[in-house]
């Protein structure tokens, strides 16, 4: 019984801590989305009654409606793409497999698509119906 309590209590605390972390980060994210909405509306419409109405409407839609997760996710995605997270995915899934798969060869030809295009052009011009390459200048 004592052993069970010894194990269960830290696990319970850890789970509660994770839940607390996620709830806090959700609140922080909602504050950032609210600030983005206020900044966007104020920048376009100034400080008038129309801007207040729009801020209230957007705030309800983006923070408290059932589609709030969609806008919060879109905000996170927009921030990450703005900061250049797409470059990591391009490196990991498009550029790097070219390096890893090819044994030898020139890295430049594998990194850029230029080598592949030149090879396809040579094959095309070797075909019977293909045009002849222009003479070198």
Partner 1 sequence: MLNIFLAIVVALIIVISLPVLVMKFVPMADLVMRIILVFLIFTTVRGYLGSGIPSIVVSGILIYFLAIKWAYFTAAAYIAVYFLLSLQVFSIIIFGIGMGMRRG
Provide the binding-site residues for partner 1, judged by CB under 8 A: 21, 24-25, 27-28, 31, 35-36, 38-39, 83-85, 87-88, 91-92, 96-97, 99-101
As a whole number of angstroms, the distance between CA 34 and CA 41 comes to 11
Residue 114 token pair: 């230029």
Q: How far is the CB of 121 from partner 1 (least distance, A)?
A: 28
Which of 27, 133 has the CB closer to partner 1? 27
Q: How far is the CB of 39 from partner 1 (least distance, A)?
A: 4
| Nearest CB to partner 1, comparing residues 42 and 68 | 42
* Cβ at position 24, least distance to partner 1 in Å: 5
Nearer Cβ to partner 1, position 16 or 123? 16
CA dist., res. 62 & res. 33, Å (int): 8
Neighbour tally for 42: CB within 10 Å: 15
Residue 83, CA distances (Å) to 29, 37, 76, 80 in order: 17, 20, 11, 5
């Amino acid at each position: 019984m004592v052993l069970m309590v010894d194990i269960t209590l830290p696990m319970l605390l850890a789970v509660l801590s994770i839940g607390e972390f996620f709830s806090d980060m959700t609140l922080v994210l909602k504050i950032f989305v609210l600030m983005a909405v206020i900044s966007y509306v104020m920048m376009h419409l100034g400080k008038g009654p129309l801007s207040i109405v729009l801020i209230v409407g957007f705030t309800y839609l983006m923070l408290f409606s059932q589609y709030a997760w969609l806008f919060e996710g879109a905000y996170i995605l927009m921030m990450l793409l703005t900061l250049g997270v797409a470059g990591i995915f391009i490196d990991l899934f498009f550029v790097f497999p070219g390096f890893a798969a090819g044994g030898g060869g020139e890295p430049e030809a594998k990194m850029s698509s230029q080598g592949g295009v030149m090879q396809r052009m040579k094959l095309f011009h070797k075909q019977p119906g293909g045009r002849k390459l222009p003479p070198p200048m």
